Amino acid sequence: MKRILVALVALLVLASTAWAQSLAELAKKEEERRKALKQPAKVLTNEDLKKFGRVTPLEPPKTDAAAARDPAAADAAAGDAAKVDATRPDAAKTDADKPKDQEPVKDEAWWRNRITEARAALERNRLLADALQSRINQLWADFTARDDPQQRKLLGEERVRAIDELERLKKAMEAQKKGITDIETEARQAGVPPGWLR
């Protein structure tokens, strides 16, 4: 046992020295490669972006809820947005010219509609699951009450299909519950008042 342990330690020591040598070689190669470069890579700045009509904001835009709490900041942000839009070539386009795939305005009605639809879909599936469970119970009662093997076979197959459908519905309900939780989390992060989701 001691011999195996000594051999294992010796193997680890040799492997670690080999690893250190390979790292040293890689470092030397990288240093040589950098010295061989004639000029450094181009660093992009905000000025470079302005040349192409793209300006990156230094601060993230405020949400509607944050703007409602701070009207002065909302006015300043609107002024900044107008300045940025004036530098863009497509600033003269009207709302009718904009593509229809842009995000909708996320106001109170939008949030209420979104959470209401998600909850309604979950409730529909819950009612279907209850009806399926009743059907499964009825099929089991019919199955146990029959003596004819052919009828029992048909009832058994129908019951298995109903159980499979119930399992599918339960998985869909779990996904819908997670979806509702995700909507609530997203709303919280966006600063949406809790009353909008009731």
Does 155 fall in a domain?
yes
Does 183 fall in a domain?
yes
Q: What is the pLDDT of residue 56?
A: 47
Does 15 fall in a domain?
no
Nearest to 196 by CA among 120, 104, 115, 123: 115
What pTM was estimated for this model as a whole? 0.45
Does 29 fall in a domain?
no
Per DSSP, the residues of 170-191 read HHHHHHHHHHHHHHHHHHHHTT
Specify whether 165 is located in the same domain as 124.
yes
Q: Could you tell me how far CA 124 lies from the centroid of its own chain?
A: 25
Does 36 fall in a domain?
no
Specify whether 79 is located in the same domain as 114.
no
Specify whether 73 is located in the same domain as 143.
no
User: What is the span of the domain harbouring residue 81?
Assistant: 58-87
Specify whether 113 is located in the same domain as 187.
yes
Does 163 fall in a domain?
yes
In Å, what is the CA distance from 27 to each residue of 34, 38, 59? 11, 19, 39
Does 9 fall in a domain?
no
Q: What is the pLDDT of residue 113?
A: 87
Specify whether 159 is located in the same domain as 83.
no
DSSP state of 87: H
pLDDT in tens, the chain (198 residues): 777 777 777 766 666 655 555 667 777 887 887 777 776 666 667 777 676 665 544 444 444 444 444 555 545 555 544 444 444 444 444 444 555 567 777 788 888 888 899 999 999 999 999 999 999 999 999 989 988 999 999 999 999 999 999 999 999 999 999 999 998 898 888 888 888 788
Specify whether 151 is located in the same domain as 190.
yes
Specify whether 112 is located in the same domain as 66.
no
Specify whether 112 is located in the same domain as 150.
yes
In the three-class reduction of DSSP (H, G, I as helix; E, B as strand; rest coil), residue 17 is classed as helix
How many domains would you assign to the chain?
2
- The three-point CA angle 159-160-161 to 5° equals 90
Token pair for 112:
């209420």
